Amino acid sequence: MKILLIFPPLVHKQIYDLPEFVENEASLHPPLGLMSLAGYLQRFSRHEVRILDANAQKMEYRQLSQALQEYGPDLVGITVNTTFLYDAALTAKTVKEVDRDIHVCLGGAHVNLYPNQTMRLEGVDSVVVGDGELSFMKLADSLSEEKNGSGIDGVFISKTDRDKKINPMNPAYYIDDLDSLPFPARGLVNPQDYYSVFSSGKTKLMTSLVTSRGCPFRCSFCQLPFEKLRMRSPKNVIEEIEECVENGYAEFDIYDDTFNFSIDRVIEICKLICEKKFKIEWSFRGRVDRVNREMLQWAKKAGCSRIQFGIESGSQRILSAYNKGISLSDVYEAFRLMRQVGIASFAYFIVGGPGETLQDFEESLTLIKKIKPDYITFSILKPMPGTAIYDLSLKKGLRKNDYWEGFARNPTKDFIPPLWEENFTLSELIALRNRALRSFYFRLSYIARRATTIKSLNELTNMVKSGILLFRDICVSPIFKASIQHVKKT
């Protein structure tokens, strides 16, 4: 059976919670979910599999249709997140326009939230809930034997299961032993398609790496549907890194939701990297309350160049509203240790949370001045489906209807998800976000400090380009839009 795994063209993605540069141009990561499916199929089946990252290749739907005609797949798997549901649905319709007999299966974070609604979309034959590697392969096996794929854990067929009550948290849909999975099929994508503004050189290949799945924390703004944390062994992680190094990769972005949940595990991974003498650079996303000096020293020795922390707010009251489970003292200590050890820090903040006032926002700016991160970003809170904050917005009457469920049933290209506009309007939230970014990135002292850290011409090029594009988004564009509005009024 010929299988094509597709990351859709992101032609209709809505952006305004982050600056356009941060959302679209700062980085592009390989589709690890699809690569993991492909790796499993290559190892345990005889099916022929390809990956088409239509977003990375900047495809339009006409080109997607042509690619489908040229390959002629029997089964198409499409990954879908709520933020690009419309494009995923349009991709499914495009497949059926090419050949009605191609079986179309959707999987991914959105399907875990809205399995029944996804099954009812035009052109969708089945959905996979949970970890897809084993379930999707069993679906392919069933279809190749001219069966309909029913009766497989985690697989639901549109014709027979669309009204079935599905529990996405069912443990049967998830894989506990992550070491049993083959490594992602990186050979099926073009590594040159992927990049990051933090990359230190054009000659170095970069990739993403996932060493765990799930998250035990329950932040109120987070969409993660499965709270059980499953971690790969340090030995297994090192084996994947070694395979990547042998294939020319030298930069890694560890994409775990909380890589440093176990400090001891992080240290063990770092020690193994040092033993192998890998000449690599890597970064990870972590929590400030899971940091100590020993871990950071080993991370630095093993090539860790940057750690990204979700701080969210400088107000303890807002942190509590987000159910972050961290204190401001945790933040101060983590960033103090980072500066001493010499690892770059990236702080994520949110503006516009439940009950947030201008004073809370000012406290975030004050915190930034005190902890002195190397990089920051501010996003505007967008209540996403499946989150406690979204449920709270409906309960408080900020929105009268379950608009995300309506969008899941009938995705449209002009859908604009509301923000949390309790104390601020949309324009005020954008203005606050832009003010925070301007006050941080366009200080002469910051620019001078960043210039002293540049190690290559490529880094200098990235820094200049990033600065210009960020200036466009948070300085020039708002002035231009305000001028247009003034002209319209007069």
Domain residue limits, the chain? 2-173, 451-490
Q: What is the rounded distance in angstroms from the CA atom of residue 39 to the CA atom of residue 447?
A: 43
Q: Which residues contact 4 (CB under 8 A, 6 or more apart)?
A: 49, 50, 51, 52, 68, 71, 73, 75, 76, 77
Q: Which CATH superfamily hosts domain 2-173?
A: Cobalamin-binding domain (3.40.50.280)
Question: Where residue 132 falls among pLDDT bands split at 50, 70, 90?
Answer: very high
283/165: higher pLDDT: 283
**Residue 357 above 80 pLDDT?**
yes
Helices of type H across 213-322: 234-246, 263-276, 293-301, 316-321
40-44, 170-174, 474-478: range with highest mean pLDDT: 40-44
**Residue 15 above 90 pLDDT?**
no
Side chain identity, residue 424 = F
Calculate what percentage of the chain has a pLDDT beyond 90: 72
pTM of the shown model: 0.91
**Residue 483 above 50 pLDDT?**
no
Is residue 3 within a helix (H) or strand (E), and if so which, with residue range?
Answer: strand 2-7
Both structure tokens of 50: 């390809």
Question: Where residue 13 falls among pLDDT bands split at 50, 70, 90?
Answer: confident
Reported as a single tens digit per residue, the pLDDT across 423-467 is: 999 889 989 999 999 999 888 888 787 777 766 666 666 666 666
Q: Which residues contact 282 (CB under 8 A, 6 or more apart)?
A: 209, 251, 252, 253, 254, 302, 303, 304, 305
Reported as a single tens digit per residue, the pLDDT across 252-263 is: 999 999 999 999
Q: pLDDT at position 245, please?
A: 97
Q: pLDDT at position 208, please?
A: 95
Q: What is the rounded distance in angstroms from the CA atom of residue 282 to the CA atom of residue 286?
A: 13
Is residue 350 within a helix (H) or strand (E), and if so which, with residue range?
Answer: strand 344-351
Report how far apart, in Å, the C-alpha atoms of 135 and of each of 72, 80, 104, 150, 229 are.
23, 17, 14, 11, 20
Q: pLDDT at position 246, please?
A: 96
On average, the pLDDT of the chain sits at 90
Q: pLDDT at position 14, please?
A: 62
